[in-house]
Structure 1
Amino acid sequence: MSRKNPIANFGQSRYSIAIVTDDARTNLEKLIRENGHDFAAISKMLGKNSAYIQQYIRRGSPKKLDEDDRRRLAEFYGIEERLLGAPAMRESGRRGPIAPDGLLRIKQLQVGASAGPGSLADDEYAESMGFSPKWLGRLGTDPANLSLIVVDGDSMDPTLGDGDDIMVDHSAASRPLRDGIYVLRMDDVLLVKRIAMGPSGKLTIRSDNPQYPDWEDVSAESVNIIGRVVWTGRRL
């Protein structure tokens, strides 16, 4: 006889409650009861012994939910993690807002960074895209320093294609340059190019597409670095 997954019996939680308390245990109990669930089944969903949730709510043991358990419960019930005891910094502050789905929103620039002839920069943000906070943490930078820009043009093919989303770390603009792909501004034009450092301190600005010219011996002072490209996503 196959063992059933307790979560399969739940489906989606019927609704998320309007929380009126700051007590994580009270909030969780209200969620469980008003969605017709029980302590034992929720415990098994988390891979814990059947008394785990009851002991947490009734006896205060553990004192707080494990971070992974808290995130999973918040995602299941469609609420913010802070309502289950997450530190306030997980919801706001320099890291940026975490949505009810547990994803951290990264701002998306309205215009693209040209990988071709170039397009004028516009600092307005049109929308945002959600990413896992854990995944963003592996990038090694504060998510508040990140933004998304759409590539415009084919000069960085095959590395970056027209319409690709790129994630830009703006904190790189305040650090010493190293070889890599950057978003930069030259003559009021926003570009995405590969930068190589020369022994003299001059830059070589390259396009990965050999049909486009490179710029040799460029003075670093003439280039306004917007940020370093740390991730790209594309539609297949």
Structure 2
Amino acid sequence: MEEEPRAALERLIAENGDDFAGLSKLVGRNPAYIQQFIKRGSPRKLPEEERGILARYFGVEESLLGGPVASATTTGIRLIPKLSVGASAGPGAIPDRETLAGKIGFDEKWLRKQGLDPSKLSLIQVDGDSMSPTLNHGDDIMVDNRAAVAVVRDGIHVIRLDDVLMVKRLASGPGGRLSVLSDNPAYPGWPDVDGADVTVIGRVVWAGRRL
């Protein structure tokens, strides 16, 4: 059953730890506006401007909040999920959950021109500086999850090693051995690892950062 817009907004607020008054201020309304919409049904529908602000804030499609359904064929934009985990590029981090933190839109034609399948992509954040200067702490990286079931190609991957999620440069060696390397010379790598001990989550195919 499709989620009703008021219920969807209330769920997003709870999951994100926001409050009604703060979101009312975000959309330029009085402090009770969002609470009245959810609890009293006033207004009956969110106006287009307010709906758009909330959809961008939560990283969801406007249709979830009562807007028209926009297909990829009409907008050309594909929303790629951003997960609330960090791939360590430092001492290592063990994520305790992998939940949706939002979505970022990319031109679908551009993705496919790069040879990527939009349904197999996800975004996570780099944690640490062992891959600097290629990847810096806080960078968003796009992960092609098809690499998890393919023969490992040399390049930067998100992997799990000893129950730690990390982003490292992989290089294939003889007999199924792998080199697990850092781009930052201040950090040691593992030049000879049994490939069976490395779980490949995906290949890093794009990175973005705030300047």
TM-score in terms of structure 2 length: 0.64
C-alpha separation between the residues in 2 aligned to 1:212 and 1:222?
Answer: 20
Evaluate the alpha carbon distance shift between residue 101 and residue 109 of structure 1 in structure 2; reply closer, same or farther with a 3 A threshold.
same
Residue 82 of structure 2 aligns with an amino acid whose one-letter code is Q
1:14-70: CA deviations, max 9, x gaps?
xxxxxxxxxxxxxxxxxxxxxxxxxxxxxxxxxxxxxxxxxxxxxxxxxxxxxxxxx
- The answer on whether the counterparts of 1:156 and 1:209 sit within 8 Å (CA) in structure 2 is yes
Evaluate the alpha carbon distance shift between residue 80 and residue 102 of structure 1 in structure 2; reply closer, same or farther with a 3 A threshold.
farther
Secondary structure in 2 matching 1:160: coil
Matched, 1:103 2:77: yes
- The answer on whether the counterparts of 2:171 and 2:178 sit within 8 Å (CA) in structure 1 is yes
C-alpha separation between the residues in 1 aligned to 2:142 and 2:208?
Answer: 9
Indicate the residue corresponding to 1:113 in structure 2. 87
CA RMSD of the aligned region, Å? Answer: 1.9
Indicate the residue corresponding to 1:17 in structure 2. none
Shift of 1:152: 0.5
C-alpha separation between the residues in 2 aligned to 1:136 and 1:196?
Answer: 25
Shift of 1:191: 0.1
Indicate the residue corresponding to 2:177 in structure 1. 202
Q: After the TM superposition, which residues 153-164 of structure 1 pair with which residues of structure 2 at under 5 Å, given as runs?
A: 153-164=128-139
Shift of 1:141: 2.4
Select 1:168's aligned residue among 143, 157, 182. Answer: 143
Evaluate the alpha carbon distance shift between residue 100 and residue 138 of structure 1 in structure 2; reply closer, same or farther with a 3 A threshold.
closer
C-alpha separation between the residues in 1 aligned to 2:108 and 2:68?
Answer: 16
Select 2:108's aligned residue among 133, 139, 154. Answer: 133
1:184-230: CA deviations, max 9, x gaps?
01122110000011133200000000000010210111011100000
TM-score in terms of structure 1 length: 0.57
Indicate the residue corresponding to 1:227 in structure 2. 202
Task: Return the structure number with greater strand share.
Answer: 2
Percent identity reads 56
Residue 136 of structure 1 aligns with an amino acid whose one-letter code is L
Q: Which runs of 5+ in 1 are unaligned?
A: 1-77, 82-90, 92-97
C-alpha separation between the residues in 1 aligned to 2:127 and 2:75?
Answer: 30
Shift of 1:159: 0.3
C-alpha separation between the residues in 2 aligned to 1:147 and 1:99?
Answer: 20
Shift of 1:123: 1.9
Q: After the TM superposition, which residues 1-236 of structure 1 pair with which residues of structure 2 at under 5 Å, given as runs?
A: 91=71, 98=72, 102-121=76-95, 122-236=97-211
Residue 119 of structure 1 aligns with an amino acid whose one-letter code is A
- Higher RCO, Cα 8 Å, sep 6+: 2
